[in-house]
Amino acid sequence: MWKWLHPYAKTERTYHLCQRLLPWFSVLGVAVILCATVWGLAYAPTDYQQSEAYRIIYVHVPTAVLSKSLYSAMAVAAFIGLVWQVKTSFMAMMALAPIGATVTFISLITGAAWGKPMWGTWWEWDARLTSQLILMFLFLGVISLYKAFEDKQQAGKAAGVMAIVGVINLPIIHYSVEWWNTLHQGATILKLGKPSMPSEMLWPLLLSILGWALVSGAVFLLRMQNEILQRDIKRPWVVALAHKNSALSEVK
Amino acid sequence: MAILKRDLALAYRQRAELMQPMLFFILVISLFPLAVGPEPKTLQLIGPGVIWVAAILSSLLGLERLFRDDFQDGSLEQLMLSSTSLPAAALVKVLAHWLTSIFPLIILSPLLALFLHLSEPMYWALLKTLLLGTPLLSLIGGIAVGLTVGLNRGGVLLALLLLPVFIPLLIFATSAVESAAMQLQYSAQLAIIGAMFLFSLALAPFAIAYALRVSQT
């Protein structure tokens, strides 16, 4: 395992790995998201209680699930970077952070749009909503701490420590619907026993979670490549790559 | 031990700076009766939350002092090069910070409870949450201060980093006082705060030491 992973501590290898994986993630992701959204919006049955308005679930839940997974992924990358001093994992961390912030923002906006017809209010100081808002601030805090440093290696370490400290919020978001009885509904998918949702609604939802995950993966790969190029801009292999690309475009 | 003595003595010599968080604390709290209206019922309702928010904000004011002066005059570097273990030294410095800039706030709290018309059980609950919870502010705050100490404009960044992390503590502390106001048990909330305190007591010194090393390079 270690032998297999070790080469990816080198930025060049990681760049080429990203290059190879990118088409898979982007094509598959867009296909799955399209398929799931059309299925969810047009073919899934109407809810007996919430009628058509529930359909925003096909955007809201995937983004909400992803926001937490992206934070965990960022914290894991930070941990790997801090413990094993792997340079690429800090780059991965910073490639993930803005995606996470965006996804959290989307889940808050769609949540507000869903809350208006259902609860009669755009925003409620409910435990789930508040902890989700805090999650966005944690992402933004990590990003701004990273930007505050001149030396990017030092910045990665500092932002990594902060990312790990913020993990305390994750269990709070997860259990917020059980610990506090507020407006937000309880867990529907991730719970012991059967999910409390008919399978005609559940399948497109699971599929759209997968689609969003793949698309964020694709964005992550792009950002990762970008991060590597920016950091290694004076390395010979980047210069060689730039020469090759410009030669290609001249031939065209 | 010598570090504790030195930090306490330094803080004592700079009494004016020591008073600032305390005055800020009282001022923030006295703004609320003016802004929300002086009815005892409303004040009682918002009181515990106001005291906690004010405590967090004023601890942020004092936190900047935790490592900054030592960083600027080089004594922090001396400390790192010396044979004392850095996590232990960091823990002692955090303790000194808690004693000098947060403990006075707790001593002031009966007065503020009087201001905000807190009932007696509410006050005891508030006191317990403050005693258990405020060391967390110093410990977690120490990590962020250690990270930002090398930056010139750390102040706002410090608040941006720390306030989200403090929110869980705020939630449990105020819910404990709310339970006390309704004559309910609040040992569960206290237990959670205590667990968070012990957890950070075990890990934060190492994180602070690491953060200082990152800033020093």
- Per-residue pLDDT tens for A93-114? 888 999 999 999 998 888 888 8
Contact A145 B165 (CB under 8 A): no
Contacts of B172 in chain A (CB under 8 A): none
What average pLDDT does range A48-63 have in this prediction?
75
Look-up: residue for tokens 């989307």?
Answer: A106
Contacts of A154 in chain B (CB under 8 A): 214-215, 217
Partners of A47 in the beta sheet? A51
- Min Cα separation B64/chain A (Å): 16
Cα separation, A128 vs A114, in Å, equals 14
Contacts of A165 in chain B (CB under 8 A): 140, 143-144, 165, 207
Nearest CA in chain B to A134: B164
Contact A145 B147 (CB under 8 A): yes
Cα separation, B30 vs B53, in Å, equals 13
Per-residue model confidence as pLDDT tens digits over A144-170: 888 888 888 888 888 888 888 888 778
Local structure of residue B82 (DSSP, 8 states): S
C-alpha distances out from residue B134 to B12, B106, B191, Å: 21, 9, 15
The whole-number pLDDT of residue A197 equals 67
Contact B147 A169 (CB under 8 A): no
The whole-number pLDDT of residue B155 equals 72
Query: How many CA atoms lie within 13 Å of B206's alpha carbon, on the beta-carbon side?
Result: 7
Cα separation, A164 vs A166, in Å, equals 5
Cα separation, A186 vs A180, in Å, equals 10
CB of A66 closer than 8 Å to CB of A103: yes
CB of B53 closer than 8 Å to CB of B81: no
Please check the confidence at residue A9 and state whether its pLDDT lies above 80: no
Residue among B179, B181, B199, B198 at smallest CA distance from B189? B179
Cα separation, A116 vs A123, in Å, equals 8
Please check the confidence at residue A53 and state whether its pLDDT lies above 80: no
Per-chain mean pLDDT for chain A: 80
The whole-number pLDDT of residue A165 equals 85
Q: Which residue has the higher pLDDT, A57 or A213?
A: A213
CB of A177 closer than 8 Å to CB of A185: yes
Cα separation, A2 vs B70, in Å, equals 41
Please check the confidence at residue A249 and state whether its pLDDT lies above 60: yes
The whole-number pLDDT of residue A47 equals 65
The whole-number pLDDT of residue A102 equals 92
The whole-number pLDDT of residue B63 equals 82
Please check the confidence at residue A205 and state whether its pLDDT lies above 70: yes
pTM value surpassing 0.90: no
- Min Cα separation B160/chain A (Å): 6
Nearest CA in chain A to B188: A179
Contact B151 A149 (CB under 8 A): yes
User: What residues in chain B have per-residue pLDDT under 50?
Assistant: none
Contact B214 A161 (CB under 8 A): yes
Contact A158 B211 (CB under 8 A): yes
Please check the confidence at residue A4 and state whether its pLDDT lies above 70: no
- And the tokens for A221? 């790969």
C-alpha distances out from residue B63 to A78, A100, A188, B56, Å: 25, 29, 42, 10
The whole-number pLDDT of residue A178 equals 64
The whole-number pLDDT of residue A105 equals 92
Cα separation, A210 vs A208, in Å, equals 5
Per-residue model confidence as pLDDT tens digits over B102-114: 888 888 888 888 8
Q: Which residue has the higher pLDDT, B216 or A180?
A: B216
Residue of A71, A162, A164, A180 to mutate, testing the B interface (most B Cβ within 10 Å of its Cβ): A162
Contact B143 A161 (CB under 8 A): yes
Per-residue model confidence as pLDDT tens digits over B139-185: 888 888 888 887 776 677 888 888 888 888 888 888 888 888 787 77
Question: Phi/psi of residue A51, each to 5°?
Answer: 50, -130
Query: Which string of DSSP letters, residue by residue, matches chain A?
Result: -HHHHGGGGSHHHHHHHHHHHHHHHHHHHHHHHHHHHHIIIIISPPBTTTBGGGGGHHHHHHHHHHHHHHHHHHHHHHHHHHHH--HHHHHHHHHHHHHHHHHHHHHHHHHHHHHHHHHS-S----HHHHHHHHHHHHHHHHHHHHHH-SSHHHHHHHHHHHHHHGGGHHHHHHHHHHHS--SS---SSSSSSS-SS-HHHHHHHHHHHHHHHHHHHHHHHHHHHHHHHHHTTTSHHHHHHHHHHHHHHHH-
**How many interchain CB pairs under 8 A, A with B?**
63
Please check the confidence at residue A194 and state whether its pLDDT lies above 60: no
Contacts of B198 in chain A (CB under 8 A): none
Partners of A51 in the beta sheet? A47
